[in-house]
Structure 1
Amino acid sequence: MDMATRTTDDVNLDRLGTALGFLMRLAQIKVYEVFFEEFGDRHLKPGEFSVLWVILHNPGIRQSVLGQRLRIKRAHMTKLIRSLEDQGLVSRRIPDEDRRAVEISLTPEAVAKVRQASDWFFAFEGSLGSNLTAAEREQMTVLLRKFVGLT
């Protein structure tokens, strides 16, 4: 085959085609591409929504615990929380019993925004894997939960 006429379908991935980490990376990229095509104008990224959703369901959660649970590095979590605070979405509180800790809660405006965003966010999530059967999607979810330690 002429290299100049090769299409993406013709590219030989060899063992990468069965490499779990590589396939998961491609899956994440695909999810983000579809998300930003459909919801890029919503001004809320998937990671931001995830953080706000967890805070909504765990008011007063410590920033360090939140970062550990979502596997967000400390420096990135600090930057993200500061950005969310600047947008008026979260408030931070330093507890008297541990002045090194930071507790995070949503502002009333953020509670309404997150509840509203959850409709389209979870509808989007429900549409992912539309090329899978319901059983395959459920199996993929079970396996991913097991893989990341959520079982």
Structure 2
Amino acid sequence: MDMPVRVADDVDLGRLDSALGFLLRMAQLKVYERFFETLGDKDLKPGEFSVLWVISRNPGIRQSVLGQRLMIKRAHMTKLIRGFEDRGLVTRRVPDEDRRAVEITLTPEAAARVEKAAEWFFDFEDAVGNNLSSAEQKQLTLLLRKIVGLN
């Protein structure tokens, strides 16, 4: 006897369907999928925009502080910043008072690019929860801020 062919909607997730970490990851994947479908031609990934946005709001931020705040591992942050530098988006400076530190600032061209990108990025973000009511969006935002320690 042949087993019936299952479609994705018929797959039993068991307790995963109420596991917060699993659901957060699935939500992230859904948002990224929609991002790349609608904005994939923008030449900036969501994570890249987020890092550049924070640098734009905090010129001269130390690379280690930036990585800690955005929870990006040191090795990945170093690679990301080097890539930004190669693309002419950031400048790095080692301060005289602490030769182990690296301060990051956007180039003028990158600052203008980030301001322009903010329009489409935040328009997209505003639409992420469009299947939720306004009250649900606010509640979810508050709860996520609490989970990540922003409250």
Any gaps of 5 or more consecutive residues in structure 2?
Answer: none
Counterpart secondary structure, 1:48: helix
2:145 is the counterpart of 1:126? no
Any gaps of 5 or more consecutive residues in structure 1?
Answer: none
Q: CA RMSD in A?
A: 0.9
Equivalent positions of 1:54-93 (< 5 A) are 54-93=54-93
Amino acid corresponding to residue 30 of structure 2 in structure 1: K
Between the aligned partners of 1:109 and 1:3, the Cα distance in structure 2 is 59
What is the identity percentage for the equivalent residue pairs of Structure 1 and Structure 2?
A: 71
1:13 paired residue number:
13
Task: Provide TM-score, normalisation by structure 2.
Answer: 0.97
Q: Return structure 1 stretches of 4+ with deviation > 4 angstroms.
A: none
1:23 paired residue number:
23
Aligned length: 150
Amino acid corresponding to residue 117 of structure 2 in structure 1: A
TM-superposed CA distance for 1:88, in Å, is: 0.3
Amino acid corresponding to residue 97 of structure 2 in structure 1: E
Amino acid corresponding to residue 67 of structure 2 in structure 1: G
Between the aligned partners of 1:3 and 1:145, the Cα distance in structure 2 is 44
Between the aligned partners of 1:23 and 1:61, the Cα distance in structure 2 is 33
Task: Provide TM-score, normalisation by structure 1.
Answer: 0.97
Counterpart secondary structure, 2:91: strand
TM-superposed CA distance for 1:9, in Å, is: 1.4
